[in-house]
Chain A
Amino acid sequence: MRIAFAGNPNSGKTTMYNALTGRSEKVGNWGGVTVGTKEFKIKDEYAGGKDVTAVDLPGAYSMSPFTPEEGITSEYVRTANPDAIINIVDATNLSRSLFFTTQLLELGIPVVVALNKSDINEKEGTEIDVAKLSEKLKCPVFETTSTEGKGLSDVIGKAISLAGSSQDAPYIQADINLHDKAAVDAEDRKRYSFVNDIVAAVEKRKQLSSETTGSDKADAILTNPVAGIIIFAAVMYCVFWISQTALGPAIADWLVGWIETFQEWVAGQLENSPAIVSTILADGIVGGVGAVVGFLPLVVVMYFLIALLEDCGYMTRVSAVMDPIFKRVGLSGKSVIPVVIGTGCGIPAIMACRTIRDERERRATSMLATFIPCGAKIPVIALFAGAFFAGAGWVSTISYFLGLALIFLGALLIKWITGYKYRKSFFIMELPKWKMPSLKFAFKSMMERARAYIIKAATIILVCNLVVQLMQTYNWQFQIVEEGAENTSILASIATPFAFLLIPLGFGAWQLAAAAITGFIAKENVVGTLAVVYGLTAFIDVDELEMTGGANTVAATMGMTAVAALAYLFFNLYTPPCFAAIGAMNSEMQSKGWLWGAIGLQLGTGYTVAFLVYQTGTLMTEGHLGTGFLPGLIAVLCMAAAVYFIGKKTRAHFDEQYELHRKDGKQGAAA
């Protein structure tokens, strides 16, 4: 038996779904968090021993879709024939929500209405006559608070008992020609007045929603173009500072100590064993995985803080304040949400682009969102910040703000390439009520991420490290590489050609090239591979940092200048993300041209940024250009030329297309 969860955006569908199934799907205090369908079995305590599957759907305002994710919902309830529908209604906005409810009631599938967020109504003194509403809608209605699990068993119990039966509609749309716009409009108007009558009869408000409240005053400041942006920058800086300079490393320090002790113990036990066994277990598995796990505290502290931000309702205000800036470069204010989610993981960020209505804006955002360093890149940042810059906090802050700058520049470039003509791009965003962020929820979301991080480290990164280790230990004749002849190993011979390309960026060592390549499987691999190839584990070590101004063991082993290290860090941050994120981009863009464009753009950006950082940095610190300036310059110029020609070609093509559209009037502007 399948029960679908439908309702307006941000009414709490996923929160209820999570409570009923025990899952922890992503929730947030804004509309459009869920962008795809999710299915899971409902817990026995609610299902009463029956096999019931809950289907969570993206929020929708009505059956006629406006953005792609709304389309998923209307298509699902129309075609997938769920046995019952639980319509989650935001009880604080009954007048809008019931429009969709009356449409759902017409489908003939039994509907149970859950008046969610009833705790807020209680606080505000809004009363809803549930019995009367139920009678008017001809379907059962229950008050719920899904954040506390209140009323859920009533709703689900009723839905299960009704499943498979039929539903009387309180309002039936007249038989009209659905292609006749005027008739449809008139019909929708009638439906709305029907809804308005119901609301007038059942709802008693103490506080009119049109009254200006304290939170409105806060919103006015937070959405102010100047103050709002300063506040946003400050908030994000605090998030990075706490997670990557203050609290995170303090916990990491302690964790790394334990990992190191364990590694030494393992190595000690294997003193009399063949070197290969000791290397694989102590250096490869324990050392490589340990190096990655050592950064876990930094990552989870950040996830915790981001979860708090997402839960309180701040994201929509940021979106509103950023809209004018993003619009200027050809994106939309909604692009902010993918960018902020992107600090966690690029894949949900790319998927969150689905809430953007304009196709070009959507594709451009999903192409650029991964310039923001994701959680997997934090270990890489922290490693280099610690080893070469004495753990300076500015390295991570700069990494994020440079990512943001690259998004703007990239957007301008895409705007130019696609020959973006001024088109109307509307921005409307519901500002949800402020909510005290739940520490419990943030903690849960943090643990979920920590679990995922450890699983990843123990599986994919472990295997990668092992492969790297073996490839480094053996040469093509499958003989153990002798000391002093490391360059003959399989790994070295594969990575050397790539390293050659990276000479103009200041890091032509094959070890670094190998780490960058394994980074495409998962970015944490950069750290793991470096740990293995250089035989290092303790990347976070406060005692060592106090040695001569940043030139600690890690830096000495890698043999890079600080400038080259920064270039290498930026190269890893802004080249294409992991394969999984590229896959997500592929499925969101639905266009091979855009996908390859995205990969090309990211490769080009990573290369160019690293080139510029290394060459200008070397010029500034040492008074001369770095190695391989000329070949690097030629490479960068070639990329610029390629961009120019692609742009020219698409623009010519676009102009033709645009002309055609213009002939039939308004269509062009709406396309």
Chain B
Amino acid sequence: MQAELTLKGITKEEALEVKDRMTLLEAETGKTYTVKEINTDDDDMNSFLFRLGCYEGEPITLVSKKKNSCIVVIKDGRYNLDELLSEAIIV
């Protein structure tokens, strides 16, 4: 739990510092963004996202979001992402 909170804190701070960078959970529903950075701290996960077509420079559309998860469109597929992933994808 502790780690989760710290992790959340850091990403939020970062997002506040630089206005044009935000996590998916801070983005607006229905809009298409360009992925700026993906950092899941897990190489395998990063490359898995890559293979789905989610990497820097590619478009990503936020279809809907909840408190701690969201649904996005990557390429032509819809995916449900949990909190960790939504915060690891910077748009």
Contacts and interface: CB of A to CB of B under 8 A. Distances in A.
B69 A96 contact: no
A463 B37 CA distance: 63
B65 to A, nearest CB: 9
A176 to B, nearest CB: 15
Contact of A333 (B71, B78, B82): B82
B52 A61 contact: yes
Nearest to B50: A188
A534 to B, nearest CB: 50
Given A93-B75, A429-B80, A216 B69 contact: no
Contact of B45 (A316, A320, A327, A426): A426
A645 interface: no
A92 B64 CA distance: 21
Contacts of A185: 47, 50
Contact of A96 (B40, B67, B77, B84): B77
Report the contact-size class of chain A (Cβ under 8 Å from the partner): 35 or more
Interface string B48-78: 1111110100010101101111010111111
Interface in A170-215: 181, 185, 188-189, 192, 209-210, 212
Contact of A66 (B32, B44, B53, B67): B44
- DSSP class of B's interface residues: helix, strand, loop or mixed? mixed
Interface stretch (A13-21, A220-228, A535-543, A572-580): A220-228
A324 B42 contact: no
Nearest to B88: A426
Contacts of B1: 422
Interface string B3-46: 11000000000000000000000000010100000001111110
Nearest to B2: A422
Nearest to A332: B82
A210 B42 contact: no
Report the contact-size class of chain B (Cβ under 8 Å from the partner): 35 or more
Contacts of A254: none
A428 B76 contact: no
A223 B77 contact: no
A189 B69 CA distance: 27
B48 A430 contact: no
A80 interface: no
B85 interface: yes
A182 to B, nearest CB: 12
Interface string A297-340: 00000000000000000001001100110010000010000000
Contacts of A428: 48-49, 52, 79-82, 85
B69 to A, nearest CB: 7
B53 A96 contact: yes
A618 interface: no
A669 B42 contact: yes
A149 B59 CA distance: 35
Given A210-B61, A212-B30, A216-B63, A93 B42 contact: no
Interface of A: 61-62, 64, 66, 92-96, 99, 181, 185, 188-189, 192, 209-210, 212, 216, 219-220, 223-225, 316, 319-320, 323-324, 327, 333, 422, 424-431, 666, 669-670
12 contacts: A96-B77, A192-B53, A210-B59, A216-B64, A216-B78, A220-B63, A316-B80, A426-B85, A428-B49, A428-B85, A430-B77, A430-B79
Given A61-B48, A210-B32, A428-B80, 12 more contacts: A66-B44, A66-B51, A93-B77, A96-B75, A210-B63, A316-B80, A333-B82, A422-B4, A426-B40, A428-B49, A669-B42, A670-B43
